[in-house]
Structure formats: structure tokens, C-alpha cells
Amino acid sequence: MISYKDLGLVNTREMFKKAIEGGYAIPAFNFNNMEQMQAIISACVECSSPVILQVSSGARKYANQTLLRYMAQGAVEYAKELGKNIPIVLHLDHGNSFELCKSCIDMGFSSVMIDGSHLPYDENVALTKQVVDYAHQFDVTVEGELGVLAGVEDEVSAEVAHYTRPEEVVDFVSKTGVDSLAISIGTSHGANKFKPEQCTRNADGILVPPPLRFDILEEIEKQIPGFPIVLHGSSSVPQEYVKIINTHGGALKDAVGIPEEELRKAAKSAVCKINIDSDGRLAMTAMVRKVFVDNPAEFDPRKYLGPARDELKKLYMHKCENVLGSAGTVE
């Protein structure tokens, strides 16, 4: 049993309290490899933002859970070396069983998500409570989820979305004891968040997605005032990356995300954690494709992963500074 406290990590409790009071959201960036981790930490140190390093079960399978955990421990030291001891959370994204959450808690994660959102309500309550009861013994914080997001990723998929029902949140939060709640108000996982028929088109022919359901968010906030809310599926799918990818041999069709203004608005409310994975994937892919097309003789991985890492850092700083508002919140 390894405690995250011995690794220099923190749980989400204090972070979320400050974020709600300050009207900003903490970035939760997924990572699977060293370049992503370097970009996340150097960006958040440079703009003085707290950060949640997020590991999905797919990431665990891809990279090995022990390596990822040591990378998070290394991230704490790396941040100090770069000059700022920013608060860092190591979080399990979309945990789907008690056993997986327990295994992460036992090896040093400071926060876990138990995603029972696909289960019947009572089963979601029972599973979430089981994880909370275990996690709280070690001061590990737990994120639960009510409502189902659309979108398809390796380990997360749902054909049909349904919004969170505000009338369920008080019961869910009080029965489970969760520390934060992920909700469904129209965000969606992946780079193709909406079907073209759900969108309109602007003058340039770019798809404009349907607006988020801020009315549902407001109703939830009324039911559980000041309770930390989480938004998944919050990539904005920057069209400049889509363009670079598609003009350098890629084939992304109708890729569309959540407009940044909507996320800015959400971050000012009780939404205090915003999950971003796909935008990082797009930034890396765009830069790697560009190097391969511009310099076909290049074969040193540092020459294409390096530019990808630089672009990722820029993207993450932009998110903290201009979208989530978390920049400058660490003394």
C-alpha cells in the first residue's frame, strides 16, 4: 500500500473548494506517455495552475500502470525543478469496477472516478458508495457520474446520451458520499462529438454544435449548491489542427467540439473540473503529420515528438489562461 501523500500528490478537496470560490475550473488532462506528461507539467508550472493528471484504464493497459504512477511521482519532482510546487492530483478516469479503483488507490492515486453511469440508478449508487467507503479511509477523493455522455473512445462508449436528471442529484450525493459529480449536459467524448444533422453550419461551412444545456446545470446547482461538478468530453476540437491533419494526409471528417466560450461560462459556475483529452491528441497528430510530410527523410523520434510536445504545451497553457481560468491561481 502506497499513500499518495508520500509521493507529494494531493487529493481534489482543497483544489475544488478554491476553484468554486474563485470561479475557475481545474484542468484534467489525460496522459499516456512522457511527452504528454512533460507538456502538461511545464505548461501548468509556467502559468501557475493546479492540475489533475488523468489516467484512463486504456492508458493503464497501453503504458503499464506502474510506469504511469512513477511518472506522476516524477511529475511532482519535475514541477519543483521547473520552479513551482503546483498541486498535482493523480486521478483514475472512468474507473469501471471496485477492483480497479482499489488497485489505483493502493498504488498511490489520490483521486478516482467510479463511472457507474451506465448502470441502473440503484446499482450506480451501490457501486459508487462501495468505492467511496474504501477511498475515504485513505483520504482519496471520489468522482461519481449521473447521466450518460455520447461519444466513442477506446474504453468509453455510448450510442445514446441522456442528460443528468436534476431531481436525482441530492439523493445520489447523499447516499454515496462522493466528493464530486460528473454530469451530462450535452458534452461528448472524442473528436466527432455531434452528428452533422445535430449541428448548423456557419458561413465558412464549419459545423456549429448544439448549445450546452446550461438550464440543467443551473437546476443541478440549485439542488446541491456549492457541490463540485465535473464536465467530461470538453475538448473544443480546434479547427486549425483538423486542417493541418487533413492537409497532411489525414482524414478527419466533421470533427467538431465544444466551443471555448461555453466552457469559459461553465468554469465560472460550480463546474470545477474540465476533462480534456482529444484536443491533445489532435495537437500531437497535427504536428507529427506535418513533420512527416515536410521532412520525409526524418527518422529521429525526438524530431517529431519534440514539436508535438511544444504544441501540446502551448495548447495546455491556452486552456488554463483563456478557457478554464486556472492560470495564476497558485502562489
DSSP 81-127: HHT----EEEEEEEE-SHHHHHHHHHTT-SEEEE--TTS-HHHHHHH
Residues 6+ apart with CB under 8 A from 141: 11, 12, 13, 110, 111, 112, 135, 179, 180
Rule CB under 5 A: is residue 129 a binding residue for Zn ion?
Answer: no
Nearer to ligand 13P, 113 or 330 (CB): 113
Under the criterion CB under 6 A, does residue 193 sit at the interface with ligand G3H?
A: no
Residue from the set 155, 219, 221, 260 that interacts with ligand G3H by CB under 6 A: 155
| Near ligand G3H by CB under 6 A: residue from 21, 81, 154, 298 | 154
In 10 A of CB 42, how many CB atoms? 19
Give which of 227, 126, 232, 122 is closest to 182, Cα–Cα: 232
Q: At what angle do helices 214-223 and 166-176 cross, to 10 degrees?
A: 40
Beta bridge partners of residue 56, listed in sequence order: 93
CA-closest candidate to residue 146, choices 173, 95, 177, 182: 182
CB 181 within 8 A of CB 125: no
How large is the C-alpha radius of gyration of the chain?
19
Q: Is 60 in the site for ligand G3H (CB under 6 A)?
A: no
Binding partner at 59 among Zn ion, ligand G3H, ligand 13P, none, C-beta below 5 to 8 Å by kind: ligand G3H
Element (H, E) at 46: helix 34-46
To the nearest 10°, report the CA torsion of 58, 157, 15, 328.
90
Q: Quote the least distance from Cβ 191 to ligand G3H, whole Å.
A: 10
d(CA 236, CA 217): 19
CB of 272 to ligand G3H, least distance (A): 18
Q: Which is nearer to ligand G3H, 94 or 290 (CB)?
A: 94
Task: Give the footprint of ligand 13P on residues 238-297 (CB under 6 A).
Answer: 275-279
Site for ligand G3H contains 56 (CB under 6 A): yes
232 contacts Zn ion (rule: CB under 5 A): yes
Integer Cα distance of 310 and 214 in angstroms: 34
Query: Would you say 110 and 160 are in contact if contact means Cβ atoms under 8 Å apart?
Result: no
User: For residues 125 and 237, which CB has a smaller minimum distance to ligand 13P in the complex?
Assistant: 237
Tell me which of 27, 147, 190, 209 binds ligand 13P, using CB under 6 A.
190
Interface residue with ligand G3H, options 13, 33, 46, 58 (CB under 6 A): 58
Which C-beta is closer to ligand 13P: that of 49 or that of 117? 117
- Catalytic: which of 6, 93, 122, 254? 93
Does residue 93 have an active-site annotation?
Answer: yes
CB of 114 to ligand G3H, least distance (A): 14
Work out which of 7, 26, 29, 30 binds ligand G3H, going by CB under 6 A. 30
CB of 112 to ligand G3H, least distance (A): 14
Which residues within the stretch 255-294 sit at the binding site for ligand G3H (CB under 6 A)? 277
* Closest CB 106 distance from ligand G3H, rounded Å: 21
Question: Closer to ligand 13P at the Cβ: 3 or 269?
Answer: 269
- Looking at the chain, which runs of residues are DSSP E strands? 26-30, 51-56, 88-95, 111-114, 141-146, 151-152, 157-158, 180-183, 200-201, 207-208, 229-231, 271-276
The catalytic residues are: 93
Residues interacting with ligand G3H, by CB under 6 A? Answer: 30, 56, 58-59, 93-94, 153-156, 189, 232, 277
Residues interacting with ligand 13P, by CB under 6 A? Answer: 30, 93-94, 189-190, 232-235, 275-279
